[in-house]
Amino acid sequence: MSQYIARLGWRSPAAPPRLRLHRRPRRVAMLSVHTSPLHQPGTGDAGGMNVYIVELAQRLAAINIEVEIFTRATAAALPPTVDLAPGVLVRHVDAGPYEGLAKEELPAQLCAFTHGVMQAWADHRPGYYDLVHSHYWLSGHVGWLAAQRWGVPLVHAMHTMAKVKNANLADGDTPEPAARVIGETQIVAAADRLIANTAEEADELVRHYEAERDKVAVVHPGVNLSRFRPADGRAAARARLGLPQDALIPLFAGRIQPLKAPDVLLRAVAVLLGERPELRSRICVPVVGGPSGSGLAKPEGLQKLAARLGIADVVRFCPPVGQEQLADWFRAASVLVMPSYSESFGLVAIEAQAAGTPVLAASVGGLPVAVRDGDTGFLVQGHDPRAYARVLRDFADAPHLVDRMGEAAARHARFFGWDRAAAATADVYTAATQAHRPHVRSHHG
């Protein structure tokens, strides 16, 4: 026991025995204002963060940390609460009109959302929530107030950062507003702990937002290894999806918006077919996802681009699909293509690799952590379609590359299980609780 006390920095023998406070929290209020964990990823504002919250919450519950997820109600018919899994409750908070509210309009609804969170809390005994974990800057503002009001620690995950996005804007994309930059700076200062997806994101928090280095913890997101796995192989997945068996299939899966750069894949395919017209009969390019963000302004933009490039006959547009079918799309593909301008991690890169498929990605954000260049896929500097076309040509000319890299990809992805991510997150919660207690005592004499 004395060694345990020493590790925690309790040097004085006269220190009061407060060790019972240095435990993992029993119940966490998790905040996700702008996107519900119940929404279908790949459309609207639903994406990797939805998957992250659902999987993390379920794994935390499995290690006896109950999670209540507060999210904005987006339909009148939604029940106030939904049991997502044992130990995971989703609470729908009324804040603004149910439908037709863009993410950019949500800051005006944070007061109403906070009110709903406080109402839920008022129904419980004091000390009901042990910690607040907020996701994305909008939730961070609610979390800041809630944590202060309840006297509990605040753990915050940015997921994306305005300053980083604005430094890597796609052509025609809209910069993030100054209000978001200010809001993120305030949250960084207020949080007891910040969770970054990668070491690079941790550095960005320190560099751009003056985060205290010892308050930032790196926790890699995970992948559901029981869902995303090679299973019965590429041929069977292609048969199920009605895809040609011998084709080169470069897949785009995600939200259709300039940030994700699906246009780069289409331009790369046009370059490839310009150089190698004989490949046209054995290439199929699925685009699985729906318009999102600034892509909503031109929902048909990508289809029109395919027609203009003269490749509409080889591109197949598919609406967003559930996780089980998404795993089949990954298995069926020769390579997942992610030419994004900015990615805090890029969950789909790990999901595709777990399913046994290599990844061709832009060398941005967390993608160099998710993809081992030359082993589980290829990383490209920049967004020149010709660079992507060169890699696609290599896959077309050496079909064995797909299998060899796919096997390495599946092995690599096994290090990214959600159980590991949940255990690391629980450690961050414990550290935040320990750091918070002296702070609370100093405020109350």
Answer yes or no: is 345 a known binding residue.
no
Answer yes or no: is 27 a known binding residue.
no
Answer yes or no: is 160 a known binding residue.
yes
Answer yes or no: is 324 a known binding residue.
no
Judged by DSSP in three states, 41 sits in coil
Answer yes or no: is 153 a known binding residue.
no
Answer yes or no: is 429 a known binding residue.
no
Answer yes or no: is 343 a known binding residue.
yes
Answer yes or no: is 87 a known binding residue.
no
Instruction: Return the structure tokens found at 278.
Output: 């004989």
Answer yes or no: is 40 a known binding residue.
yes
Answer yes or no: is 353 a known binding residue.
no
Answer yes or no: is 229 a known binding residue.
no
For 127, counting Cβ atoms within 10 Å of its Cβ (0-12 exposed, 13-18 middle, 19+ buried), the class is exposed
> Which of 355, 393, 396, 353 has its CA nearest to residue 377?
353
For 62, counting Cβ atoms within 10 Å of its Cβ (0-12 exposed, 13-18 middle, 19+ buried), the class is middle
Dihedral, CA atoms, 99, 104, 107, 110, nearest 10 degrees? 30
Answer yes or no: is 148 a known binding residue.
no
Answer yes or no: is 260 a known binding residue.
yes
Answer yes or no: is 49 a known binding residue.
yes
Answer yes or no: is 174 a known binding residue.
no
How many CA atoms lie within 13 Å of 158's alpha carbon, on the beta-carbon side? 34
Answer yes or no: is 275 a known binding residue.
no
Answer yes or no: is 331 a known binding residue.
yes
Answer yes or no: is 387 a known binding residue.
no
Instruction: Return the structure tokens found at 310.
Output: 């003269």
**Cα separation, 125 vs 71, whole angstroms:** 22
Answer yes or no: is 81 a known binding residue.
no
Contact of 404 with 378, CB cutoff 8 Å: no
Answer yes or no: is 312 a known binding residue.
no
Answer yes or no: is 136 a known binding residue.
yes
**Cα separation, 200 vs 237, whole angstroms:** 35
Answer yes or no: is 35 a known binding residue.
no
- Annotated binding residues for UDP-N-acetyl-alpha-D-glucosamine, written as ranges, equal 40-41, 48, 255, 260, 321, 343, 351
- Annotated binding residues for Mg(2+), written as ranges, equal 330-331, 333, 357
- Annotated binding residues for 1D-myo-inositol 3-phosphate, written as ranges, equal 34, 45-50, 103, 136, 160, 180
- Annotated binding residues, written as ranges, equal 34, 40-41, 45-50, 103, 136, 160, 180, 255, 260, 321, 330-331, 333, 343, 351, 357
